[in-house]
Amino acid sequence: MYLSRVRFWPNSAAHQALISVQQKGSYASHQLLWQLFTEQADRNFLFREDQASGLVGSQGMPEYLVLSTTAPAQLSELFQVQTKKFEPRLVVGERLAFRLRANPTVSYKGGSSDSSRGQRHDVMMHARKTAQASGIVDKQQLQQQMNQAAIDWLTCEKRSAKLGVRFEVQPTIIASSQHKTRKKSQSQLISYSAVDYEGVLTVNEPELFLTQVALGLGRAKAFGCGLMLIRRV
């Protein structure tokens, strides 16, 4: 795998692309980044968008971290690309600090008995509606309920086993936000939550964990969710 930091060049073409991102949202970023992988018919990368800070990037400008199975193109009219191989050698019991931006969703079956697949719900919005239905109206209490639902989504036994990890300490939610975007100019608006987690995990199955990191966690990957960043502690 390859981990890349991608920044806009200070030129007119990049300026026009940046306007598109600001107007159309994260899916426009996804389409622009795909230009770095022109030989791939299917998306083989995950990304997250952050704001540049410090001396290297233009402060306040969007920049991207991209995890891919193939190396991105290094020559681009729009982007400055810095790439390194991402080949961590992990062992059972190793502890890793992580950052994750994810779109927590869950599927609930409706009342129809012939429905084999449930309807997908945003975990945080579902928790909010459930709390309100139980009589909770205080904003702080509602947010606590929403945050706990998002944490439970990540740390539940089923997901931990799928990831090949365990969470000995509950992760922290650094930020959460609601977004509206569309995949095509004429398509219906898509609403989704993005939740930023930070925490420490313990690796139970190194190969399984790295496979899942490459695939990404949760949904809305085309909108900049799913990429888990890890480092040793």
Where are the CATH 3.30.70.1210 domain residues in the chain?
Answer: 95-110+119-232
Determine if residue 164 is left, alpha or beta; phi over 0 gives left, psi from -120 to 50 gives alpha, anything else beta. Answer: left
pTM for the full predicted model:
0.85
- 113: pLDDT confidence band, cut at 50, 70 and 90? very low
DSSP three-state, residue 207: helix
Any idea what DSSP says for residue 110?
A: -
Give the pLDDT mean for 187-206. 91
- The answer to whether the CB of 212 falls within 8 A of the CB of 82 is no
107 vs 62: CA distance, rounded Å: 32
Which strand (E) or helix (H) includes residue 144?
helix 139-155
Q: Give the C-alpha distances (Å, rounded to integers) separating 149 from 105, 122, 166.
A: 10, 10, 18
Confidence (pLDDT) at 117: 62
Q: Which phi and psi angles does 80 have, rounded to 5°?
A: -95, 125
Tens digits of per-residue pLDDT, 75-103? 888 889 999 999 999 999 999 999 999 99
**Mean pLDDT (whole number) for 61-81:** 89
What architecture is the 2-85 domain classified under in CATH? 2-Layer Sandwich (3.30)
CATH number, span 95-110+119-232:
3.30.70.1210
Average pLDDT along the chain = 87
Task: Give the DSSP per-residue string, 23-92.
Answer: HH-HHHHHHHHHGGGTT-SS--EEEEEEE--TTTSPTTSEEEEEEESSPPPS--SSEEEEEEE------T
Residues 55-70 have a mean pLDDT of: 77
* Cβ neighbour number for residue 150 with a 10 Å cutoff: 22
pLDDT of residue 118: 67
pLDDT higher than threshold 90 for residue 190: no
Give pLDDT tens digits for 13-32. 778 887 877 777 777 888 88
